[in-house]
Chains A and B, each alone.
Chain A
Amino acid sequence: MADATLLDQVKDRKNRADPYPLFARLRETPVSRQHDGTYVAATHAAVASLLYDPRISSETLPPSKRPLTGNPFTDWVVKPIRQHITDTHRPFIFRDPPDHDVLRGAVMHQFTRERVQAMRKRSDRLVADLLNEKCGAREIDIVDDLAYPLPVTVICELFGVPREDEPKFHGWATQLATALEPDSLDDDAVRAKNSRCFDEISAYMAGLIRDKRRHPGDDMLSGLANESAPGIGRMGDYDLVATSILMLVAGHETTVNLITNSMLTLMRHPEALERLRAEPGWAPRVLEEVQRFDPPVQFRTRKALADLAIEGTTIPEGAPVVLLFAAAGRDPQAYADPDRFDPDRHDNRHFGFGGSLHYCVGAPLARFETEAALAALAGRLQNPRLAEDPPYRPGAALRGPQHLRLAIDGIA
């Protein structure tokens, strides 16, 4: 690995637990070229400038690797839904305006205040129930016992997925989240697994949508499947499947990591955990600071649509551009004492939810789920101790612990 670039080292699993020293080195060149022609933006100013530059595109996926066979039967009759989605109906996280805006607009139309408020209440209840189940335990795994089940239940209930089908989504969401890792497309085994998983979830969603048309409920999927958004209309079926899958996947892994990263950070800053126990209303500040200090989405990749002069470099047209949100969060040019965890800081302009037109649709959900989880954990765990430095899941872009085991004296 002598000539491995800094970005290679970031992706290297052995640096997963603490990539921040690498980020500091990356920031020395605000926008740097990697050996494969990828450009990395690592300072706060560079990331902010590129996020709001119209010459940066989200249509980064290469064309589908399985072109038409020329056989009309296989191409058009048995063509799986997955193929339609990857060819022409990609989820809007991978699309630019105007299509992106239309699809996102339809979702936002259904993301009503009433639905969000109802889920907030529901999420407080879910957190209480999950912790009640562990009553009397001497150990808790923050991931398996709370951070993992909470978001999947919230998103499934919001979408009106029947309770008995929820376990399926755990597996699908985890598998499909790997598709957001930069190297996943190069690994044939991962690709094959993702394709199978994609086929399963898209078939399931298509069936669920049919069901929501026959028996509309007051859930979001019923709304998307049956109602027209003003000025937008009703989403086409393939787009609806793609959008539902996106919501389920994007709303899951990231929230798991936000809760887990927050709890790990609190365990390493006992005075903050103590204060949160006494002052549960402090939870929002804690989670916003974690979004700067140790964000669940460490970077996203975009594409330059034109030669783009920035910070003394020219990113050539067509080059992939990595926006290193996690490095921007520790930029001393943007933050006083950036390596200090300080929820009370007033200069927090983090990219934890991204920014610009792809700003996290589910941010309100992530916020109240995490607030509920942190306030309850701080308030109810008796004498929590970090049992080990946690193992991390493979992802570098969506990064978070595999498990976070805490020894406890009980749960209040």
Chain B
Amino acid sequence: MVAERAVVVGAGLAGLRGAEALRRAGFTGSLTLVGAEAHRPYDRPPLSKHVLTGAVAADATTLPSFLPLEAEWRLGTAVTGLDRRNGRVRLADGSSLAFDRLLIATGTRARAWPNPHEGRLAGVHSIRSREDATALRTALAAGPRRVLVIGGGFIGCEMASACRTLGIPVTLVEPSTAPLARVLGTHMGDVIGALHTARGVEMRCGTEVEWLEDDGRGRVVRAHLSGGDRIEADLVVVALGAVRNTEWLAGSGLSADAGGLDCDADGYALDTEGRVDARVAAAGDVARFPHPLYDGRRVALEHWSHAVAQAEHAGRLLADRKACSHYAAVPTFWSTQHGINIKSVGLTEGADGLVIAQGSPKEGRFLAVYGREGRCIAALSVDCARWLPAYAAQVAARAPFPPIHGAIDQPEHRPVLPPGFS
């Protein structure tokens, strides 16, 4: 066999696990990993949790490698283009790399504050990279008077939690009526919001930050809300979600936009005509694929375990092109807020019903199941993760909703509630 060349673009969690899977599946050709950041692959979940409180140093998050990769690393080098006709990726330093097999795992970046001038003010931060987390940790350790978190998604909520752990006053502004509403619906969002309020987070839901004011010397001092209110804050964290890194694919002929790079059910990249390019696979945050559990709805998932599972799948796919199989892992995620463990399986989108299956939100410990058209589609556990695998099995089996009857610590009445998706 002619020595084959594999290139992995993106040196994060998905890139690393995908490269390992290539090797594990017996790929013996040359292997190059390209990463825009200067670091070996590192773990991001701690950056919005333990790194902020100082319990873990940002540079202690390097991911372990599970086997010798025998790879060439091109770190600190962004990828700028893809030339499929000649089988090359172009790099920011002007060079290019030839490939026979390409794994795209370029992930996402933090969505910037829409006003670039305000976004550059001293005291305005976001969290995505190790450097972001280090800067934020330093700012928190300096003892800000009040932190303003813009955005009530997972990162925003974890940020608010870290502030309270450190005893720093914090306000969270979220345009919808509850935090996490997009992912969990307003019903569960309200439950999580109440946990934050009880731990001293000032929740400002249903309003938006219109602009950030500085002190005339380039440092942020307050935020102005859409209703006219002002929040005095010397540290602002923008947590408006992520943008997928697909711009470099412009002109490549692959079907990609801000929502991700389109793949088929196996994980191969699709071109704008919908044809498979069997040399190219994608994994992690950047990959948009039809999920078989959800009637082939195209999704791009920003979850840790998904990045691992899909990258391992894609690595195998690229190593042995005959070994096609649909990628169908049940999505999962977790979050830690105020020491409370929040976990989920499945996708809540489109849910039309919600049931508290075990425990009770009042006691801060429960398991909720989301249903759609009479099937279980997702489950959420709050300090109750032990039972989640049993519900994951129900989701994977598309079991009838309402779910499991007869469980320990089960409420006697289990009405089907409106989950609150707009």
Contacts and interface: CB of A to CB of B under 8 A. Distances in A.
Interface of A: 52-57, 96-98, 101, 305-307, 317, 356-357
Interface in B349-391: 357-359, 363, 365, 367, 386-387, 389-390
Contacts of B357: 54
Contact of B408 (A57, A307, A317): A57
B191 to A, nearest CB: 17
Contacts of A54: 357-358, 367, 387, 390, 404, 407-410
Q: Helix, strand, loop or mixed for chain A's interface?
A: loop
Contacts, number: 44
B227 interface: no
16 contacts: A52-B386, A53-B387, A53-B390, A54-B358, A54-B367, A54-B390, A54-B409, A55-B408, A96-B409, A98-B359, A98-B365, A305-B408, A307-B406, A317-B406, A356-B386, A357-B386
Q: Helix, strand, loop or mixed for chain B's interface?
A: mixed
Contacts of B386: 52, 356-357
Nearest to B390: A53
Contacts of B390: 52-55
B217 interface: no
A55 B404 contact: yes
A93 to B, nearest CB: 14
B359 A52 contact: no
Interface of B: 357-359, 363, 365, 367, 386-387, 389-390, 404-410
A306 B387 contact: no
A55 B389 contact: no
A59 to B, nearest CB: 8
A97 B406 CA distance: 13
B406 A96 contact: no
Contacts of B387: 52-54
A307 B386 CA distance: 20
A54 B359 CA distance: 11
Contacts of A101: 365
Given A52-B389, A52-B390, A98-B359, A306 B407 contact: yes
A53 B389 CA distance: 8
Contacts of B389: 52
B149 to A, nearest CB: 26
Given A356-B386, A357-B386, A55 B359 contact: no
Contact of A305 (B359, B363, B406): B406
A305 B409 contact: no
B406 A306 contact: yes
Given A54-B387, A356-B386, A97 B405 contact: no
A97 B359 CA distance: 8
A60 to B, nearest CB: 12
Nearest to B364: A231
Q: Which 7 A-B pairs give the minimum distances between C-beta atoms?
A: A306-B406, A54-B407, A96-B408, A305-B406, A97-B409, A54-B387, A53-B390
A401 B405 CA distance: 43
Nearest to B393: A49
